Amino acid sequence: MIQFENLTKKFKRQTVLDNIDLSIGAGDRIALIGSNGAGKTTLIRCLLGEYTCEGSVTVDGVSPREDRREVLKRIGFVPQLPPPLKMPVGQLIRFAASLCDSDPAQMEHVIERMGLDPARIRKLPFVKLSGGQKQKLLIGIALGRQSDILIMDEPAANLDPEARHVFFDLLAEKQAHSAMLISSHRLDEVAALVNRVVEMDQGRVVLDDHVADDVDIDSNLHCRIELKRAEPAFNRAVEDWGFNSTEDEHVWQGIVAGPDRLRFIGFISRYTALLKSISMDEAVE
Amino acid sequence: MHLLLTAYTDILESLRARWFFVYSGIFGGIVVLLFLFGLTESRIMGFTGITRMMITYIQLSMAILPIFILITTVRSVAGDREAGVFEYLLSLPINLNSWFWGKMLGRFVVVFLPVFLALVGAIIWGVANGADVPWNIFLYYSGLLFSLSWCFLGIGMLISTLARSADVAQGAAFIVWLALILFLDLILLGVMIRESLNPDLIVAMALVNPLQVFRTAAMLLFDPQLVLLGPSAYLILDHFGEKGYLIWSLIYPVGIGTLSGWIGYSIFLRSDLP
């Protein structure tokens, strides 16, 4: 599907991508990881046809630089930093839908599923939305159109747990026939979403590994936590995960999205001294 | 289709920007001030009323319009690229052709309309107060403003494409404007006298300077012999004639703007977009 061949990108004398060979097929869900300056964003921009480069990038044999429309019609992109657009949300949706030959209602439907009310924010300038709202909107635009390649740069970083659930569900709906490239600084943020990890360092691919694909993106875990004593800081944090308490804030119950399990365990590990018991069970539909 | 969509989006984006309010306020303010200070009643070289007001307006426009267009264009276009607007919007399936020219078209509408509408406002006010409206001067000055706006917009788009940051673009725009100001006729005449340079060369330099072309054309309507311009007037009138120069001054800046825009577009096509 996507083919990078001998891809090299230099900025003046600095080599940012160094002879990259990478092949991505339908059904691949790739975590593109690496530290700052590793070349992740440059690789993504080459795939979007935004950078000139040596070597070649093709999507089913077509160059995104030479035939932008044909390639970019297939790509849904969520940037790490939302652009500071002053245009109202409604106009942005119409603009994107018009360029993508998509139905704006479909984008609004996905945005609504992400927890935003399109009617309420339609007239607000995009730049005035909160970080999380911008992220939800851009995800809605990317997933609410006909695309079989998803490129996302830290897509879930600003999302609340509820929106993350929906986001994972949306990805699950697309996973069979799409290729996904999810860029992140931290593997634990995206580990459970992907079936392949590509690590970059100083412009080179230093790891390309397939990983166990046992976690369904749209699975859920019923979780019950019992505490030795109530703790306000813990209460606030666990409420952000959508948990409810019973028995005087000593027992908390809630649902954790399957792909978020590693992140949730990371959160819980900060409060191990408070824990009396914890259980996580795969929820049965 | 995408060209018009980009132009429309750029217009709406500009209408919300602070620079647009400052820009419109300044040109609207100039007309209001000219009325307030009674310039329509004063007399210079035999001109009074709306004609006098338009002559002053066009002279003031020549002084501030180019630098305003250059700075606002390069700041917003290069600034958008720096802020990541290009990265996102150019990830959508749009032709670069539609994007670039749509942006230039949209930008042209927002830089030309306030200047033109201020002039139209003055005409409406004049008609409402029973003043004689010199329609030929109004039409010609509108054409000149159109031509000058397009010219400096094209140069601004070229600078925005070449410069990789908003600060560099702004500095370059300022230097271009300063260079054109330096080669206005009075300085040229001074250089010519001191260095005993070939007068044809000096006049040729004046003729390729769009600011000078604009200025001379604005003079020509109320001073057909170009007495104000001095000796170089003979060369200009000998080469072009009055009508020829009036046509040249409309076409030449449009050509410069289009050529600059086209060079900018060619570089844009071959360079990194964000």
pLDDT, tens digit, 9 for 90 and up, residues A26-56: 888 899 988 888 899 999 999 999 999 999 9
> Chain A residues with CB inside 8 Å of B110's CB?
none
CA B194, B195, B199, B205 dihedral sign is negative
Say yes or no: A188 and A270 in one domain: no
User: Which residues of A are less than 8 Å from B96 in CB distance?
Assistant: 68
Domain ranges of chain B: 2-270
Residue B240: is its pLDDT beyond 80?
no
Q: Contacts of residue A83 in chain B, CB cutoff 8 Å?
A: 83-85, 87-89
> Which amino acid type is present at position A11?
F
- Domain boundary pick from A172, A187, A210: A210
Mean predicted lDDT score pLDDT of chain A: 87
Q: Do B91 and A77 touch (CB under 8 A)?
A: yes
A87–B16 C-beta distance less than 8 A: yes
Instruction: Tell me the mean pLDDT in the region B240-247.
Output: 82
Count of all residues that appear for chain A in the document: 285
Identify the band that residue B194 occupies on the pLDDT scale cut at 50, 70 and 90. confident
Give the chain A residue nearest B6 (alpha carbons): A95
Ordered DSSP codes for B49-91: HHHHHHHHHHHHHHHHHHHHHHHHHHHHHHHHHHHTHHHHHTT
* pLDDT of amino acid B178: 87
ipTM at complex level: 0.79
A68 has a chain B CB within 8 A of its CB: yes
Q: What pLDDT is attached to residue B196?
A: 74
Residue A261 in domain: yes
A-B contacts at Cβ under 8 angstroms: 78
Contacts of B86 in chain A (CB under 8 A): 50
Q: How far is B64 from chain A (nearest CA, A)?
A: 27
Asked whether residue A12 falls in the same domain as residue A98, the answer is yes
Q: Give the domain range for residue A252.
A: 220-282
Q: Quick check: A87 and B13 CB within 8 A?
A: yes
Q: What is the rounded CA–CA span in Å between residue B7 and residue B3?
A: 6
Check the CA dihedral B265-B271-B273-B274 and report its sign.
negative
Angle at A109 between CA A105 and CA A110, to 5 degrees: 125
Residues A187, A189, A191, A196, CA torsion sign: negative
Instruction: Inspect the interface and report whether the beta carbons of B83 and A84 lie closer than 8 Å.
Output: yes
Q: Which residue has the higher pLDDT, B39 or A178?
A: A178
Q: Provide the CATH number for the domain around residue A129.
A: 3.40.50.300
Contacts of B85 in chain A (CB under 8 A): 83-85
Nearest Cβ partner for A52 among B2, B93, B272 = B272
Asked if A75 lies within 8 A of B91 by C-beta distance, the reply is yes
Could you tell me the pLDDT band of residue B17, with boundaries at 50, 70 and 90?
Answer: confident
Please write the tens of the pLDDT for every residue from B149-180: 999 999 999 999 998 788 899 999 999 998 88
Interchain contact, B88 vs A75, CB within 8 Å:
no
Regarding whether A147 and A60 lie in a shared domain, the answer is yes
| Chain A neighbors of B99, CB-CB under 8 A | none
Inter-residue contact A80 to A183 (CB < 8 Å): yes
The pLDDT of residue B195 is above 90? no
Residues 6+ apart with CB under 8 A from A63: A49, A56, A57, A71
pLDDT tens digit sequence for B116-158: 988 888 888 878 877 777 888 888 889 999 999 999 999 999 9
**Is the distance from CB of B128 to CB of B35 less than 8 angstroms?**
no
Residue B11 confidence (pLDDT) above 70: yes
Question: Rg (Cα) of chain B, in Å, rounded?
Answer: 20
CATH number for position A268: 3.30.70
pLDDT digits (tens, 9 = 90+) for B39-92: 555 555 555 567 777 878 888 888 888 998 999 889 878 888 888 888 999 999
Nearest to B85 among A85, A99, A138 (CB): A85
What integer pLDDT is reported at residue A138 of this predicted model? 94
The long-range contacts involving A266-272, CB below 8 angstroms and separated by at least 24 positions, are A266/A188, A267/A237, A267/A241, A268/A225, A271/A231, A271/A234, A271/A237
The chain B residue lying nearest A86, using CA atoms, is B13
Cβ separation of A87 and B9 shorter than 8 Å?
yes
- Asked if residue A224 and residue A191 are part of one domain, the reply reads no
Comparing A40-54, A133-147, A212-226, B8-22, the range with the smallest average pLDDT is A212-226
pLDDT for B40 equals 57
Higher pLDDT, A210 or A97: A97
Same domain, A113 and A201: yes
Domain count, chain A: 2
- pLDDT value of position A159: 81
Q: For residue A124, give the 3-state DSSP assignment.
A: coil
Domain C-terminal end among A161, A187, A210? A210
Claim to verify: residue A13 and residue A85 sit in the same structural domain: yes
Q: In chain A, what residues touch B89 (CB-CB under 8 Å)?
A: 83
Shortest Cα–Cα distance, B6 to chain A (Å): 8
- From A3-17, B14-28, B43-57, B257-271, the region with the lowest mean pLDDT: B43-57
| A215, part of any domain | no
Residue A36 vs residue A138, higher pLDDT: A138
- Check CB contact of A50 with chain B, cutoff 8 Å: yes
Percentage of chain B beyond pLDDT 70 is 87
The answer to whether position A102 is within a domain reads: yes
Domain end call among A158, A189, A210: A210
Strands (E) across chain A are located at 2-11, 14-24, 29-33, 54-59, 75-78, 149-153, 179-184, 196-201, 204-210, 220-227, 244-246, 251-257, 275-282
CB contact under 8 Å between B85 and A83, yes or no, is yes
CB contact under 8 A, B273 and A82: no
Nearest CA in chain B to A81: B84
Give B107→chain A minimum CA distance, Å.
Answer: 15
**A184 shares a domain with A102:** yes
User: Residue A221 has what pLDDT?
Assistant: 86
- Does A233 share its domain with A110? no
Q: What is the pLDDT of residue A43?
A: 94
Are residues A183 and A271 located together in one domain of the fold?
no
- B83 interaction partners in chain A (CB closer than 8 Å): 83-84
Q: Is A100 helix (H, G, I), strand (E, B) or coil?
A: coil
Is A31 domain-assigned? yes
> Does residue A147 share a domain with residue A112?
yes
At A202, list the tokens.
């100083």
pLDDT in tens, B211-233: 888 888 887 777 777 666 666 66
Q: Which of residues 71-110 of A touch B (CB under 8 A)?
A: 71-73, 75, 77, 79, 81-87, 91, 95-96, 98-100
> Tell me: the pLDDT tens digits for A81-124?
889 888 899 999 999 999 998 999 999 999 999 989 988 999 99
Q: Do B272 and A51 touch (CB under 8 A)?
A: yes
Tokens read off for B236: 């200009």
How high is the pLDDT of residue B33? 80
Helix and strand totals (H; E) in chain A: 10, 13
pLDDT band at A260 (very low <50, low <70, confident <90, very high): confident
For residue B231, what pLDDT is reported? 62
Nearest CB neighbour to A79, from listed B16, B87, B93? B87
**H-type helices in A100-245, by residue range?**
104-113, 118-121, 131-143, 161-174, 187-190, 232-240
Long-range contacts of A49-52 (CB under 8 A, 24+ apart): A50/B86, A50/B87, A50/B90, A50/B91, A50/B272, A50/B273, A50/B274, A51/A9, A51/B272, A51/B273, A51/B274, A52/B270, A52/B271, A52/B272
Nearest to A62 by CA among A49, A43, A50: A49
Contacts of A50 in chain B (CB under 8 A): 86-87, 90-91, 272-274
Averaged pLDDT, A184-206? 83
Of residues B23, B75, B100, the one with CA closest to residue B258: B100
Task: Report if residue A253 sits inside a domain.
Answer: yes
The Cα B223–Cα B148 span in angstroms is 20
Query: Are A58 and A199 part of one and the same domain?
Result: yes
